[in-house]
Structure 1
Amino acid sequence: MSFLKKLKAKITDQTDSVTEKFKDGLSKTRHSFVGAMNELIKDYRKVDEDFFEELEEILISADVGVHTVLTLIDELKDEVKRRNIKDAKDIQPVISEKLAELLQKSDDETELKLKEDGLTIILFVGVNGVGKTTTIGKLAHKFKQEGKKVILAAGDTFRAGAIEQLEVWGERAGVDVIKQQSGSDPAAVMYDAVHSAKSKGADILLCDTAGRLQNKVNLMNELEKVKRVLTKEVPDAPHEVLLVLDATTGQNAMSQAKTFGKATDVSGIVLTKLDGTAKGGIVLAIRHELDIPVKLVGLGEGIDDLQAFQADQYVHGLFADVLEQAEEVAKE
């Protein structure tokens, strides 16, 4: 338990509300994953090959990803041998430690890249139905609360109701939305949005795009056209290309991430609906197999439930019940 205790001590400096959001948002994954692991530990008094085979199945069913699981199991075997661990109950903190190591990246990679001076442009991509427009609205609210001037660009001119949906979020967040008629050229919308953002002295421009189906080459080409317009108007833009994925789709999200990673320079992942799945291990698969940082996670439906991803909070959220049980035992 030493690692989990250190982890809890480490996050005590962070706000209680963030810790609770991660704990609540990961409750389905935690109960499924840790519950299965507790049963495994009860069934096996010693750590042997059969134990590792069942642990492998538990991790795969949590959508950690086959390649990631194989790497993790190999590392666990080495660590068990190095520490001479015999009892199955002693492996739990080692698992949490290895999960944290897989996720650990510098703040430069996991934090959004925002310009200190001038306009920051963030482009959002992803298929329909993943929560892209909702994410933009929530992020606009977050930036507005931080005192930044934000403008939204309604670049999804294809999906019926997309512009109106973004306008609703614009009203909720109290920010302007730059739009054209449905069916307009998305690149033209971006051109107008950049000029409007510049003239109004905006700090951040959040750009919505149509949901791209991986097999639609013309839509991918359109996305490249949008990027070219942004770069022409602001040479180092877009400063972030965020791929929005639905955590509840599991390995399908991995497939989308691989396709978009080839089509455009994705700089980060936004993982939505993490609270709605018992397979939150997808975070580990994305981090390890794609080497793309998860930068934001959706931990609920509220406007304040979009959180910056923090590896320590994620691991603590997964093992919160284990730590609380240990603390209760210690009190007795």
Structure 2
Amino acid sequence: MSRADQFQREARAYVCSRLDRAGGWREAAAGLWHRTLPDLVGSTRGITFAGAAIVLLRALLLAGAASLSVFMRKTYNHEVQPANAADGWEAILQIFQNLDSLDYFFMGLGVLVVGAPKLLDSWRRRSPRADRRLAYKYFVGAVRRLPLNPAHDGLGVVEASLREVLEALRYEVCELIGDSGGKGTDATLLVFSDPTGQRMEVLARTDTSRPTRRPVDAHRLLAYYVGTDGRWMAEHHFGRARGSPFKPVRATSPGVPAPYKSILFIPIVVSDPAPSSNTGVSDAASAVDRCIGVVCVHSEKPYRFWRWGDHRQALGGFGNIVFERASPYIAFIAHTLRGRAHEVALIK
């Protein structure tokens, strides 16, 4: 078996394992660290040791602010202090050893006074943003740019429209994953360069600084294996997952590190009635499914398309929510590509 055949075999096995089996405790631990804990502390950059120290310091400052009223009440009272009263740190320790119900009331009140404004600010930041309106704006632009020319005119006449719909999809996804402004999220559309599906190329992307229409060997792309399977897949830490044969580099620029870590692969699958084996006439009861392209939504941060509990199931959870919200844009892309792009049969 050649090296290329071995890689293809490992790549297909990896994708099948990701689609058919739950992630388990390893995925749970990584998702907790990269996604759940940052969401709890209000950070989108992930948890680092410096960040954890800052959170601990903030908790200590909050506890100190809540205890200040108790300290003042115990220290500056009008009672006569005994001659043998403790002083210094011993006196402070003695104060907190003799707390009563009134002291706990003042401590709770201090936490409420200090913490309530922060909670209100957090609630206001999580209010609905304008991302969805931007998604609709770009979607309308995509419809307006869609040419009325026949399908056989080729892909070049629809590239502008496809870029617009990818922008709409990007803003729709950004609202779900909490990427305010969409600075760390991009979307890419890959199509097949030949009828046999041996090569793929980027037809449109939201990052206009990157080149397009550069065909590469399809078997080097994770998108190829997901696309020919026909099911969406989320890669939570690209190139770093256990058993992954793919390196964290750009497939279209060999050797260049990939800046993205989370990738959601959405195959664009089209169907046609299968011809009857007896009469040769199309049978509406059965269908032939083909992949016409793959949309890749990628984020610079790991575990963006994940939430707690997804490690217990192979497919579903947060990825399903994103897939359903993306379905109108995927349907538009499929309709636009039909008759213009190559279609490759799914691997059964």
Please state which structure has a larger fraction of its residues in helix: 1
Is the radius of gyration larger for structure 1 or structure 2?
Answer: 2
TM beyond 0.5: no
Alignment TM class, shorter chain as reference: under 0.3
The answer to which structure, 1 or 2, has the higher relative contact order (CA under 8 A, 6+ apart) is 1
TM-score by length of 1: 0.22
TM-score by length of 2: 0.22
